[in-house]
Amino acid sequence: MVDTTVLHTGIRFGDGPRQGPDGRLYYSDFYDHEVRAFDLSTGVEEVVCTVPGQPSGLGWLPDGRLLVVSMRDRRVLRLEPGGLVEHADLGGVATFHANDMLVDAAGRAYVGNFGFDLHGVIAARGEAALLAPDYRPPTAALALVSPTGAVSVVCEDLAFPNGMGFLGDTLVVAETLAFGLTAFDVAADGSLSGRRVWADLRGHGVAPDGIAVHEDGVWVAPALQAAAFLVVDGRVARRVETSQPCFAVAVVRDTLVCCTAPTSQPEVVSVDRLGKLEAYGL
């Protein structure tokens, strides 16, 4: 039984959802190359910008300027009144497509990347290859981008670093292919230490993709399942059924918004508009 209601359809592949400073839901559609803002109250949607290199993670600088990850050319772009400009070049850190991003209150951006051609592996060997206990994917580094665009590495050897969120002074990172959430202590300068497992989700079959912090828990999009999971203190506390696999989540005021699609494989979702925004009241 599906627990969510459908807010919006006609999306190719939605990702990187965030509540914006104006209260609207902002998200990226990979294969329409657009960042959009959707008003949950009215259902009105606006195209904010077009990203030829394929948009993903989103965030805002303290002054309200939008940052957006350009996946294929491994950059972070900044939206200025005249259009998008380069904010940071991740080419020295990202070893494949850049992906999700979390921007803190000071304007520092944590940015993950695939580390390898995930979709190529799935196309050649199937998703089952990723689920094998002995599968060891190439790892990736997590980048930290300063408010001025300087790039450094804050953690290495992550198994597909994906969605991120803050729980107080703790950064939680979804390691998709480690099937778990990893926690770090965050210093005043944004550096990370104290790496540890925050939640082991392999037993639930959860390959965590996007995540969203809500109160004391973390909502997790499991990628391979038509559901969203609430994880509290490292344990699964709730499961919400969606109409199709869930790849990203956001909390907008009192609503959990799920970006769903039948698959993440480009050969399917870049052709047909099968993606949805689904909502669950909190």
Which of 57, 70, 68 lies closest to 17 in space, CA to CA?
Answer: 57
The DSSP H or E segment spanning 124 is helix 118-125
**236 burial via Cβ count (<10 Å: 0-12, 13-18, 19+):** middle
pLDDT in tens, the chain (282 residues): 999 999 999 999 999 999 999 999 999 999 999 999 999 999 999 999 999 999 999 999 999 999 999 999 999 999 999 999 999 999 999 999 999 999 999 999 999 998 866 777 777 677 766 767 777 788 999 999 999 999 999 999 999 999 999 999 999 999 999 999 999 999 999 999 999 999 999 999 999 999 999 987 999 999 989 999 999 999 999 999 999 999 999 999 999 999 999 999 889 999 999 999 999 999
Q: How many CB atoms lie within 10 A of CB 53?
A: 18
Residue 128 confidence (pLDDT): 67
DSSP labels, 184-247: EEE-TTS-EEEEEEEEE-GGGT-----EEEETTEEEE--SSSSEEEEEETTEEEEEEE-SS-EE
What is the extent of the structural domain holding 105? 5-281
Q: How many CB atoms lie within 10 A of CB 60?
A: 18
The encoded tokens of residue 118 equal 């995930």
Distance CA 203, CA 102 (A): 27
- Number of domains within the chain: 1
Tell me the three state secondary structure of residue 276.
Answer: strand
The single-letter DSSP state of residue 119 is H
Strands 55-60 and 192-200: unpaired
CATH of the domain at 210: 2.120.10.30
Residue 117 confidence (pLDDT): 67
HEC string of 55-104 equals EEEEEECCCCCEEEEECCCCEEEEEECCEEEEEEECCCCCCCCEEEEEEC
Distance CA 87, CA 74 (A): 11
Distance CA 216, CA 202 (A): 22
Distance CA 181, CA 161 (A): 10
Tell me the three state secondary structure of residue 178.
Answer: helix
Q: How many CB atoms lie within 10 A of CB 168?
A: 8
Place of tokens 């070893």: 95
Tell me the three state secondary structure of residue 106.
Answer: coil
Query: Residue 240 pairs with which residues in a beta bridge?
Result: 228
Distance CA 88, CA 64 (A): 17
Residue 148 confidence (pLDDT): 96
Which of 26, 64, 30, 66 lies closest to 46 in space, CA to CA?
Answer: 26
